[in-house]
Amino acid sequence: MKNTILVLCALATATAAIAQKDKQKSEKNATIWKGYPVARQLATYKTLPLKTDISSLSEAEKETLRHLIRAAKTADDIFWIQAWGDKNVLLSDAKNDTVRRFMELNYGPWDRLNDNGPFVKGVGDKPKGANFYPKDITREEWNNWDHLDKNNPYTIVQRDVRGNLVMVPYHQAYEEKIREMVKHLSLAANAIRPEDEQFAGFLEERCNALSQSDYNKSDIAWLGLLKNRLDIIIGPIENYEDEFQGARTAFESYVLIRDMAWTGKLERYVSLLPSLQQSLPVATAYKPALAMNSTQPVVPDGNAGVQAIEVSPAVSAQAARPGSSLAVFDVVYYAGHNNAGSKTIAVNLPNDETLQQEYGTRRSQLKNVMQAKFDNMVKPIANLMLSEAQAAKVNFDAFFNNVMFHEVAHGLGVKNTVNGKGTVREALGAGFSPIEECKADVLGLYMITRLLESGDLEGNVEDFYITFVAGTFRSVRFGAASAHGKANMIIFNTLVSKGAIIRQKDGKYTVKVQDMKKVISSLAAELLTLQGDGNMQGVANMLDTRAVISDTLKADLSAIEKAGIPVDLIFEQGADVLGLDK
Ligand SMILES: [Zn+2]
Q: Please write the tens of the pLDDT for every residue from 424-480.
A: 999 999 999 999 999 999 999 999 999 999 999 999 999 999 999 999 999 898 888
Asked whether the beta carbons of 467 and 399 are under 8 A apart, the reply is: yes
Residue 35 pLDDT greater than 70, yes or no: yes
Residues with CB under 5 Å of ion ligand 1 are 9, 11, 440
- Interval between CA 365 and ligand 1 midpoint (Å): 12
The answer for residues whose C-beta is within 8 angstroms of residue 341's C-beta and 6 or more apart is 21, 23, 105, 106, 112, 113, 568
Helix (H, G, I), strand (E, B) or coil at 157: strand
- Name the band, by pLDDT with cuts 50, 70 and 90, for residue 324: confident
What pLDDT digit, counting tens, does each position of 107-151 carry? 999 999 888 999 998 899 999 999 999 999 999 999 999 999 999
- Cα distances (angstroms) measured from residue 229 to each of 56, 70, 195, 235, 346: 11, 18, 10, 20, 18
Predicted pLDDT of residue 477: 87
Q: How far apart are CA 476 and CA 481, in angstroms?
A: 9
- Cα distances (angstroms) measured from residue 207 to each of 173, 320, 377, 570: 16, 32, 38, 29
Percent of the chain with pLDDT over 70: 88
Helix, strand, coil percentages, rounded to 5, for the chain: 50, 15, 35
Query: What is the 8-class DSSP label of residue 375?
Result: I
- Interval between CA 469 and ligand 1 midpoint (Å): 17
Helix (H, G, I), strand (E, B) or coil at 324: strand
- Interval between CA 423 and ligand 1 midpoint (Å): 18
DSSP 234-247: EEEEE-TT-TTTS-
Q: How far apart are CA 252 and CA 74, in angstroms?
A: 9
- Interval between CA 522 and ligand 1 midpoint (Å): 20
Q: How far apart are CA 377 and CA 381, in angstroms?
A: 6
Residue 92's Cβ-count burial label (10 Å; 0-12, 13-18, 19+) is: exposed
Helix (H, G, I), strand (E, B) or coil at 521: helix
Q: Which of 223, 286, 305, 273 is nearest to 451 (CA)?
A: 273
Q: Which of 80, 83, 81, 153 is nearest to 116 (CA)?
A: 83
What pLDDT digit, counting tens, does each position of 137-193 carry? 999 999 999 999 999 999 999 999 999 999 999 999 999 999 999 999 999 999 999
- Interval between CA 576 and ligand 1 midpoint (Å): 35
- Interval between CA 14 and ligand 1 midpoint (Å): 11
Predicted pLDDT of residue 357: 85
- Interval between CA 234 and ligand 1 midpoint (Å): 24
